[in-house]
Amino acid sequence: MEMIKDFEDGQHVFNQLLVTQVDKCVTTQGRSYLNVTLQDSSGSILGKKWDVFDGDLEVFKEGNIVAVEGEVLKYKGSLQFKIISGAQVSVSDVDVTKFVPQAPVPREELEKKLNAYMDSLEDKELQK
């Protein structure tokens, strides 16, 4: 799975990403499109779905994990994701920790440090 932080201009991507925000918009020509914020544990990217079909609002709904295909493009100095297609993925089929930011230090290491600090307290009541 390619991480968002590693996306490059011109790259074709087929990936599973979390939908964190969706806005239905209208072009100056009156055509509907979607602004979709997509996320994984490495970051987020703004996606544009220019051709909106029946069912797209159900697929690209906040909180859904979606298998998306698209192109990474640079626009005004930032990367965007041009969404070609998407399909909802069942949460039971994926590890949801791949879609949310995580602490830079593993949980086990943090627990170990906390326990060491607690053990270093001289007051036994405070240790409890």
Largest CA distance in the chain: 72
Q: Are 58 and 43 in contact (CB under 8 A)?
A: no
CA–CA separation, 128 vs 121, rounded Å?
A: 10
5-60 pLDDT, tens digit per residue, is 999 999 999 999 999 999 999 999 999 999 999 999 999 999 999 999 989 999 99
Q: Residue 46 carries which DSSP code? A: E
Angle CA(11)–CA(12)–CA(16) in degrees, nearest 5?
115
- Helix residue ranges, H only, the chain: 56-59, 107-120, 124-127
67-109 pLDDT, tens digit per residue, is 999 999 999 999 999 999 999 999 888 888 898 887 778 888 8
